[in-house]
Structure 1
C-alpha cells in the first residue's frame, strides 16, 4: 500500500477536512499490513485498516481530532490493549488534512513527505536519505510514504445499475484507475464511485482509450454495445468484457465478422461476464467480474482474464 495523493485531494475537495489513518508499523498478527490506510470524515469513510475494534476506535479518535488538527502516532497492542484476538501490535499515524495541510505536502524521490506539525523545520537530509519503497517512514517530526503508482485504467461503459455496481465494487480495490462512461450527465449517480466521463459518441471516446485499459461494456443499448466492441477491436486493449448471454455473444460475433473482424479478433470480447452461479443481481455480477479482473492484475498486467 502507498500514499494515494489523488484520493486524498478528492476527499478534501468534497468534505473540506478529513483525517487519514495509516498503519505505520505492524508486528505479529495484525488485521492489515504496514502502509494500509483509510480516510475519515463526519458521516463517512473510505478505505480500511482492518475493521473490528481497532478500526472503530481509531475512527472515533480521528473524528475527535478533526476539530483540532495536527497529527498523532500511537502504538496499540491488539490483544491486551483492545481485546482483539490478533496477538500483534500496530503503530498508527493519524493526520488531519485540509487545503492548508496539502500545501505543506512535498514530493521527494517518489515519496509523499510532510511535517507532522506546522512548526516543523525542514526535513533533515538524513531523513530524506533513508526513504524506502515500503510502508511509512517516521523520523524527526516528519512522515514519508511511497506515492501510489498509477493503476491500470478500467473503463466501465454504462452508468446504469450494473455499471454503478461494478464501479462501487472495484473503486476500493488498489491498482485501478476507474472511469464510468455514459451519454449524458443525468445518467450518472449524484456521487459517482468513479470518474464520470460524458461521451455522447463512441468513436471519439474509444479513440482515447489507453492500450493497457480493461473495458466492461454494460450500456443500456445493444447498438451502442456493438459499436463499442467494434471500435475497441480497431485498437488494442488488455481486456474487454460484454454483459449478456451466450446468445448475445453469438449474435455479436456474427455482426462483428460482418463488420470486417476475424473470428479470432471477435473472440477477444469476453461474453458473458461475471459468474453465472452468483446470479443476475447487479452486485452479484459485479462480484464475479471483480474476481476476473483481480486475476488480470495478479499476472503482473501481462495475463488475460476469464469472464
Structure 2
C-alpha cells in the first residue's frame, strides 16, 4: 500500500488534484485512531482510515470537494452507527484539505538548452506543461510527471488545441518556425501571454513583418520578446530560464475563488464537541 506521504509527493509532481483527509478525533470503538490519513484523487486512493462505510463516505465527500476546483479546508463529523452504518458504535471527526489540479497551463515550444532549463525549473512549480519539438532526440529520457512531451513534425498544429488561458513560450532554434508560431497564435487565438526568446532586434523585425502580413499593432500587447524579467540578468541557459520562469510565475493563476477557504476554529470546536 502506498503511504500518504508518498502519495502527496506523487500527486504534486504530476500536478494532479488531491484531498488529504485526517482523522482528528476518534471516540469510542473506531477502525483507526486519530491522526490516521487517506489521500484521495478523482480516480485513486492511497493509505486507509480503516475501510468500510466510513472510508466510503469520506472518499465520496473528498471527491465532491475536489470537484469544486478550489482549495478548501473543512471539518466534518461521522457517527459510525449513523452516517457510516457501521457497528463499531464510535464516532470520528475528519479534516478535509483539498489541493486542486494546477490551473497554470504552460506550453513550451523548443527542447534546446533554454527549453530544457525552463522545463526543469517550471516542472518543480505549480504548473502543467506541454513541451513540443519536432526532434524526438532532443528530449531527455526522464520526463517529470507534470510534463507532457509532444513530438510533432509541425509544432504549430498544436495551436488549435490550446487552452484559452495557456501561457505560451516560443524557445525554438528556428527563427522561421518562431515566426510561424507567433503569427498563428496571434491570428487564430485570443491568448494574452505569448513569450519569445530573442533579441530586441529580432523583436523589431518580427513586429515589422507582422504589420506587412496584416496583423494590427494592437496585437503586439499579447506577446513579448525578449521574454523574461529584465532584472534577472545572465546569459547562461539556466540564468535565462530562471528569468523566463520568474515571469511565468508572476502572472496570476486563473483560480475561481482565489485563496484557500480555511476551516474556522469555531467550526472545528463545534465538530469536535460532538459525541
Please tell me the TM-score bracket, short chain as reference.
0.5 to 0.7
Correspondence for 1:179 among 127, 130, 134: 130
* 1:123 paired residue number: 54
The 1:154/1:122 distance shift into structure 2, 3 A limit, reads: same
* In structure 1, distance between residues paired with 2:254 and 2:42: 30
Partner of 1:165: 117
Q: For residues 117-153 of structure 1, what are the alpha-carbon distances to aligned partners after superposition, in whole Å with 9 as ceiling and x for unaligned?
A: 6x62122687579767535979859885425234222
Highest RCO, 1 vs 2 (Cα 8 Å, sep ≥ 6): 2
Tell whether the 8 Å contact from 1:19 to 1:94 is kept in structure 2 after alignment. no
**Hey, what does 1:225 align to over in structure 2?**
178
1:190 and 2:128 matched: no
- 1:92 deviates by 8.3
Whichever structure has more strand as a proportion of its residues is 1
Q: Quick one: distance in 2 between partners of 1:93 and 1:251?
A: 61
CA contact (8 A) 1:113 1:143 kept: no
Pairing of 1:153-302 with structure 2 (within 5 A): 153-174=105-126, 176-193=127-144, 194-234=147-187, 235-276=189-230, 277-297=232-252
2:180 & 2:2 partners in 1: Cα distance? 42
* TM-score, structure 1 as length reference: 0.57
Cα distance change on mapping 1:130 and 1:214 into 2, 3 Å: closer
Instruction: Mark the CA change 1:134 to 1:165 in structure 2 (over 3 Å): closer, same or farther.
Output: same
Tell me: CA distance 1:283–1:106, structure 2 relative to 1, closer, same or farther (3 Å). closer
Counterparts of 1:130-145 in structure 2, within 5 Å, are 134=72, 145=97
Uncovered stretches (5+) of structure 1, i.e. residues with no partner: 1-16, 23-35, 48-72, 76-90, 98-104, 302-307
Q: In the alignment, is the contact (CA less than 8 A) between 2:4 and 2:46 conserved in 1?
A: no
Shift of 1:300: 5.5
Corresponding pairs, count? 215
Task: Report the 3-state secondary structure (helix = DSSP H, G, I; strand = E; otherwise coil) of the residue aligned with 1:122.
Answer: helix
CA RMSD of aligned residues (A): 4.0
Distance 2:35 2:200 in 1: 50
Q: Per-residue CA shift, 1:39-88, capped at 9, x if unaligned?
A: 49xxxx959xxxxxxxxxxxxxxxxxxxxxxxxx8x9xxxxxxxxxxxxx
Query: What SS class does the counterpart of residue 38 from structure 1 fall into?
Result: helix
Distance 1:203 1:177 in 2: 19
For the 8 Å contact 1:163–1:218, the answer to whether it is kept is: yes
Instruction: Report the CA distance shift for 1:143/1:284 in structure 2 as closer, same or farther (over 3 A).
Output: same
Q: Is the 8 A contact 1:165 1:283 kept in 2?
A: yes
What's 1:38 paired with?
A: 9
Deviation at 1:183, TM superposition (A): 0.7
SS at 1:233's partner residue?
helix
DSSP 3-state at the match of 2:251 = helix
Superposed counterparts of 1:147-158, under 5 Å: 148-158=100-110
Give the Cα separation in 1 of the matches to 2:72 and 2:143.
31
Q: Scaled by the length of structure 2, what TM-score is found?
A: 0.63
